Amino acid sequence: MLRQSLIAILTGTAAMVAVASEIRAEPVCGPRAMFIDGLKQSYGEKPIGRGLAEGAMVEVLTGPSGSWTIIATDPRGMACVIGSGEAWTSPDQPRPAKLVEKPA
């Protein structure tokens, strides 16, 4: 169940990224350590999962506010941002405060 949910989320994310990539002309790339350190310091994001795709390691990082970033790293350690956003939720994390419904 969790695996199917993650696959559905990543498939949806891939579709959104495909649309966003047409808008963003230049990818944001640099050493993986720069992204890991910078995202941790700026947003509190930490890797929650990773996998391999077409010779690259793909990682999902999330932060306590619901921010998220997906990066792909090649074997030389160079990474590019695939997508980023807000309001990330997963079954084992509480929903970000701005998504929690307030009683009427």
Residue by residue, pLDDT tens for the chain (104 residues) are 544 444 445 545 454 544 444 555 688 999 999 999 999 999 999 999 999 999 999 999 999 999 999 999 999 999 999 999 999 888 776 665 665 555 55
pLDDT of residue 26: 83
CA 73, distance to chain mean position in Å, is 13
Contact 42, 63 (CB under 8 A): no
Q: Cα–Cα distance between 63 and 79 in angstroms, integer?
A: 19
pLDDT of residue 29: 96
Does the pTM surpass 0.75? The reply is no
The DSSP bridge partners found for residue 53 are 56
Q: Cα–Cα distance between 93 and 64 in angstroms, integer?
A: 9
Structure tokens given for 90: 């997963």
- What phi, psi does 29 have (nearest 5°)? -130, 160
